[in-house]
Every structure is written in structure tokens, then in C-alpha cells.
Amino acid sequence: MRPDYRRDGFTLVELLVVIAIIAVLILLLLPAVNAAREAARRAQCQNNIKNITLAVVNYESALRKLPIGINCGEGSMWSMHILPYMEEENLRNIMTVGENKRGNFQWAHPGPYRRPLKKYYENIQAVETTISLFRCPTAPMPSNQYDVSSDSWHVMARAPSSYLACASGLVTNQNVPRCLTNTRSTKMDGVMYGHSKDDPARPIELKKIEDGTSKTIMIGEALHDSITVARRGRRPESAHGDRKDHWYIGSDDIDIYNDASEALGSTGVLPNLQLQFECTIKTSRRAECQALQLSFSSAHPGIIMAGMCDGSVRAVEESIDATVWSGMGTRSGQTSLKQRLPR
């Protein structure tokens, strides 16, 4: 009787072939999986901007004016004013802005701290609060970072932001004019610009946007440079700004008339601007560094998401014509309406 040589399993060669086939299939599927994940993150980012712009629109509907972009000498940002319109009224209520007889309500602390629970430091707790609507899920940044202002005041766990309000379609330097204020001389042309006691600004009403609310940018994405912020550690930032850092609610730098780009951007700078050198206090190419800080930018491949003044959200290609992009940031006719957006 002959022995039975039938096999119950794979040979080594067959097993290797099967493994190779599975590996190839996985490699073919990975781009599709990654694309699906990015599509979901992009949709979430779009939803964030939608909710933020609607909060601003509701603010304008209630008060008949858009919020001030930043208030120099006080420190508050546009994002603080819309908190009650995005279901964050409790957070808004713990904050106090300005000064009274007992002292100043601060956005930072003179040095490192353990628990800044005194009444005059409640604003610090607010800027350390992570708000998911201000974070693009594609953006590579931590939930909180150590930040030191230009006058060496500290926030040990400040929450970064992914979104800036549009102050201008022409400005490329956050210090000219200082605080990006809108006065008779500066004529800031965006929808949310700076204000100060020295240069008081009158807020804009939506009906005053002559180019049309659907064609004018209100909010745009901006990449917070968490790597540079972490590398600089506890070193104070230059008064002129030497890092692309973006935050929300309030700021000690803005309180002392510095670094408007923490909350404001300009379409006078092309989207996704990149420099091939590091911006430092000693750099001789300060103009380019100032432009970088005001630029709208994104981690989404090839585009940035922008919220328009009518509450809609558009994906803008980074290859957009500079003149068209500049006009999208103005409220009153830097380009003709036919040129404003690609069809």
C-alpha cells in the first residue's frame, strides 16, 4: 500500500507569495485610506469655520456691528467676543477685560506659576482652555504650549488657534500700521481690524461690505508654528514678532500693542507662503518674516479653507492669482466683482 503524501498546508514559497500579495494590496489601499481620513478632517475643518463665521454673523445681527479684530491696550481678540454665540458663554463670563481701581486683569503672568487662581488671573485660565472649534484636525499642533510675550510675561499652557480674522487685503507688515488699526490715515480695508485708545476704530456692519458678503473673506486658516514656539521655549518674542504663532481669546502682547498676527491675517500675502530661512530677532529679512506671520496657510494639500462674510466656506487654491486673492480680503473694491473668485 502506497503512503499518502497529500499536504494539509502551504509550502514556504506559497506562503511568501500570499504575504507579498497581501502587502501589495495594503500598499494600494493606504493612499485611499489616507485620502478618506484627510477628507474627513477637511470636512471637520470646514465645519469649524462654518460655525465660527455663523457666530460672528449672529454677533453682528445682535449688536449691529462686527467684533473688533484686536483691542490693543486691552488685549482682547475677536474670538473672545463671539464666545457666547458658539455655546461658550460660561467661559466668557469668567473673564474681565480692562482695568479697575484694584488693578489690571491680565492675559499672562510675570513668571512661571503653579495655580494662577486669583481673580485678576482668571483670563489666563481662559486662554489655556482648549476649544475644539478653533483647531483644524489636520493642523500638526499640540493642545497647549508654553508661551512668553515680548515683555517676558508667561502663559504656561496656552491653547493655539488654527484660524485668523481677515484685517486687510493689502497689508504685509503687522506693525504698519501698528495694531492694524482702521483710521482716516490707515484706512484698513478688511472686515475685522485693530483698535486702540490712541486710534479708535469704528466696527464694520455687514451691510457696509460693498463687494458683497459672499465674496469677502471673514475668517481663514493659518498654521501655528508649534515647532518654532517649542524650540524658543521660555525666550520672549521680539516686539516686532519673530515666530508665526496664532492664539485665541486674548493676549499680553496685544495688550502692549504688539504682534497683531496672533489673531489677524491679510490676503495681501499669498496663501501658504513659505520661507527658506528661519525668522529670528536678528534676521535682516524682517519684511518677509512679517509677511509670513500675516499669511493664511493650511495643512490641507494645495488649498486653504476660508469663511466668507455670508457664513459660507470656500476652498481656495494656493495657486490663486495674487490680485484676486488680495481683493477677496477687502470689503470695498480692490478688484472687480468678475475677478473676485474663480468660477
Sheet holding 163-168, edge to edge: 264-266, 163-168, 217-221, 303-308, 313-317
Average pLDDT in the 139-149 region?
Answer: 91
Higher-confidence position of 43 and 237 = 43
The model's pLDDT over 62-101, given as tens digits with 9 standing for 90+, comes to: 999 999 999 988 889 999 999 999 999 999 988 888 765 5
pLDDT band at 338 (very low <50, low <70, confident <90, very high): very low
Amino acid at position 17, single letter:
V
What are the start-end ranges of the H helices in 296-341?
Answer: 322-328
Quick one: pLDDT at residue 341?
41
Q: Is 92 exposed, middle or buried (CB count within 10 Å of its CB: 0-12, 13-18, 19+)? A: middle
Torsion of CA 324, 331, 69, 194, to 10 degrees: 100
Model pLDDT for residues 93-133, shown as the tens digit of each residue: 888 887 655 555 688 888 888 765 566 678 898 999 999 99
Q: pLDDT for 245-273, tens place per residue?
A: 999 999 999 888 888 899 999 999 999 88
pLDDT band at residue 340 using 50, 70 and 90 as cut-offs: very low
- Note the pLDDT of residue 57: 96
3-class state of residue 91 by DSSP:
helix
Mean pLDDT of the chain: 83
Does residue 305 have a pLDDT over 60? Answer: yes
pTM of the full structure? 0.84
pLDDT of residue 166: 95
Q: Inform me whether the pLDDT recorded for 284 exceeds 80.
A: no
Apex 220 CA angle, 219 and 222, nearest 5: 135
| Phi and psi angles of residue 92, each rounded to the nearest 5 degrees, phi first | -65, -35
Cα→Cα distances 14→20, 21, 24, 27, 79, Å: 10, 11, 15, 20, 61
